[in-house]
Chain A
């Protein structure tokens, strides 16, 4: 098992209660906003603390409420990319990326920086400030910065949603390449099932703080578990499955 977790958290008007595990590969958390996807990601990273539960990565415990384990965010060795505005506006692109490197001597750091800049095709932008480059380039920089320190896992919080279509397509390719290159587990939060189908090996469908269904994207597309999941897949979803589920629910497939 690459990652195993169980998370319980009560906040005003919302309860997160999920328990799942996944092998290496790209795992997508899919659902409407407010369903607990980002909260899950933040709790994996240690940016938020669950009321109860555990997070284990390759058998190492990052958090366990019963055992009193809570590894600090900075020591979890996870790469995290936020939806937007995550580059340090006062640092050049080069410094932004280098800020992800906290170990190694000057020589190895410089080598590593050169490698990652070329891997993410950011040559020529090193001296630019974040405000001077496009949204797509900014997310590439954020990804490079998250990966330069060789994290054990990569967490992506809707990294494509603020991008326009061409940037989004290019970024999808880059995420695939990065995953192949680094071969670490990736967890992607998204509200686009198209992205899920394009990128993910495994998807957890979130709804109201629970996992409504889990499995490979194609299997879920072919056989959604009930009207709730159908509605989440949207108008592009499988018509037959939608009809089947729609009959079962007799029109009460509402979602907040």
Chain B
């Protein structure tokens, strides 16, 4: 196991954790909005949030490049003010992973919120609790299993992200090359020993993650 392989593994975990930290709170907020409020453009928001689940990740990544590239509407604005561009940075990998993992969090959390009995929310209101108190004391604890499942799926999806990351962050060894990208590089250049060891280690980490998720899930009941 060489230094670059280890770096790619560490980067993958770091990116997946950061993406999950972004996706969970944002996804909970969006899912609650979609589940409990009716507003103009709700269906459109739902479609936009679900698209990355349906489109190939390279297409999602392509859109991100268009918007966030130095000549893109948002990327250009940031670059002209700060001289910084997200392209080809590890933050880009986080953003790409977040966008593709978001639908999994939103879909799962929305289903969890929708399964909370309306009676219980209304009971809390009649007892004089505000919307926020009801959310934190009733809705959130009752939806906790679904929310945990959403977080687990998001982390898993972010850990394995390839296409959108390649488009936005590139595949720079020692900088933005996550484990899936490094494995691809080794395999395509015929460096089988390194590909093998990285694949095995990645598999072990995935299995360990699943084991921890199952254990935690059992404690949540």
B142 touches A90 (CB 8 A): yes
The answer for the CA separation of A90 and B141 in the assembled complex, in Å, is 7
B120 touches A78 (CB 8 A): no
| CB-CB under 8 A for A74 and B137, given A82-B119, A85-B117, A89-B142 | no
The answer for the CA separation of A90 and B127 in the assembled complex, in Å, is 17
B125 touches A99 (CB 8 A): no
The answer for the CA separation of A239 and B175 in the assembled complex, in Å, is 90
Residues of B within 8 A of A86 (CB): 119-120, 123
Do most interface residues of chain A lie in helix, strand or loop, or is the interface mixed? loop
Q: Assess whether B217 is interfacial by the CB under 8 Å rule.
A: no
Distance to closest chain B CB from A46 (angstroms): 8
| CB-CB under 8 A for A102 and B129, given A89-B142, A90-B141, A90-B142 | yes
Do most interface residues of chain B lie in helix, strand or loop, or is the interface mixed? helix
A80 touches B123 (CB 8 A): yes
**Chain B: interface residue count, which band?**
10 to 19
| CB-CB under 8 A for A74 and B141, given A82-B119, A85-B119 | no
Residues of A within 8 A of B41 (CB): none
Distance to closest chain A CB from B113 (angstroms): 15
The answer for the CA separation of A99 and B120 in the assembled complex, in Å, is 12
Within 8 A of B (CB), among A27-79: 45, 47, 73-79
A74 touches B125 (CB 8 A): yes
Chain A CB within 10 A, most for which of B124, B126, B130, B141 = B126
Q: Assess whether A159 is interfacial by the CB under 8 Å rule.
A: no
Distance to closest chain A CB from B127 (angstroms): 5
**CB contact between A79 and one of B119, B124, B126 (< 8 Å): that residue:** B126
The answer for the CA separation of A180 and B137 in the assembled complex, in Å, is 32
Q: Assess whether A136 is interfacial by the CB under 8 Å rule.
A: no
The answer for the CA separation of A159 and B119 in the assembled complex, in Å, is 13
B126 touches A75 (CB 8 A): no
The answer for the CA separation of A20 and B120 in the assembled complex, in Å, is 29
Interface string of A79-121 (1 = CB under 8 A from B): 1101001101110000000011010000000000000000000
Distance to closest chain A CB from B219 (angstroms): 14
Distance to closest chain B CB from A113 (angstroms): 14
Residues of B within 8 A of A82 (CB): 119, 122-123
Q: Assess whether A221 is interfacial by the CB under 8 Å rule.
A: no
Q: Assess whether A149 is interfacial by the CB under 8 Å rule.
A: yes
Distance to closest chain B CB from A170 (angstroms): 22
A75 touches B128 (CB 8 A): yes
B119 touches A74 (CB 8 A): no
Distance to closest chain B CB from A24 (angstroms): 20
Q: Assess whether B138 is interfacial by the CB under 8 Å rule.
A: yes
Distance to closest chain A CB from B145 (angstroms): 11
Residues of A within 8 A of B123 (CB): 80, 82, 86, 88
Residues of A within 8 A of B119 (CB): 82, 85-86
The answer for the CA separation of A47 and B124 in the assembled complex, in Å, is 11
Q: Can you report 20 A-B residue pairs in the complex whose CB atoms are below 8 A from each other?
A: A73-B122, A74-B127, A76-B126, A77-B128, A80-B123, A82-B119, A82-B123, A85-B119, A85-B120, A86-B120, A86-B123, A88-B120, A88-B123, A89-B142, A90-B141, A99-B124, A99-B127, A102-B127, A102-B128, A146-B126
Please provide the 9 A-B residue pairs with the shortest distance between their CB atoms, ordered closest to farther: A80-B126, A73-B125, A102-B128, A74-B128, A100-B127, A90-B141, A82-B119, A86-B123, A86-B119
For the complex with contacts A85-B117, A149-B127, 13 further pairs of A-B residues with Cβ separation under 8 Å are: A47-B122, A73-B122, A74-B125, A74-B126, A74-B129, A74-B130, A75-B128, A80-B123, A85-B119, A86-B119, A90-B141, A90-B142, A102-B129
